[in-house]
């Protein structure tokens, strides 16, 4: 029997939806078995007193944004423009953007 075009299309959509569902289930399963690994990472992070998840390794201010100051990105020479690739992907933390603490001024 020849498959109608509409039935073939329906079948394709159902197949893709099934694959999507399987991918979701697989992700949930991997997440549940990774708990032990996460717990070990958390323990290590506590032990070495990590401040940030260190998503990037190129510049120190994007590796540990919470420890960055307003000047750490411009140390090469006076008025250097920030030049690490990760500088585009992670913006300066909010606490660096406003007035200095204790200045008494309103944030811009």
Contact call for residue 36 and other proteins (CB under 8 A): no
- ∠ CA(89), CA(91), CA(97), 5° rounding? 170
Q: Say how many C-beta atoms besides its own lie within 10 A of residue 62's C-beta.
A: 25
User: Between helices 5-33 and 35-48, what is the axis angle to 10°?
Assistant: 40
- Binding span for other proteins by CB under 8 A among 2-10, 15-23, 30-38, 68-76: 68-76
Site residues for other proteins, 72-91, by CB under 8 A, read 73-85, 87-88, 91
- Do 48 and 75 touch, CB atoms closer than 8 A? no
Contact call for residue 105 and other proteins (CB under 8 A): yes
Q: Which residues bind other proteins (CB under 8 A)?
A: 60-61, 70-71, 73-85, 87-88, 91-92, 96-100, 102-103, 105, 107-108
């Amino acid at each position: 029997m020849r498959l109608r075009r509409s039935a073939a299309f329906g079948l394709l959509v159902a197949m893709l939806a099934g694959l999507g569902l399987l991918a979701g289930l697989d992700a949930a399963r991997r997440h549940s078995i990774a708990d032990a690994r996460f717990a070990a990472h958390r323990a290590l992070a506590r032990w070495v007193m990590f401040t940030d998840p260190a998503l990037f390794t190129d510049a120190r201010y994007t590796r540990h944004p919470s420890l960055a100051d307003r000047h750490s990105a411009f140390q090469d020479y006076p008025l250097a423009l920030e030049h690490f690739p990760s500088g585009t992907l992670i913006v300066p933390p909010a606490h660096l953007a406003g007035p200095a603490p204790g200045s008494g001024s309103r944030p811009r």
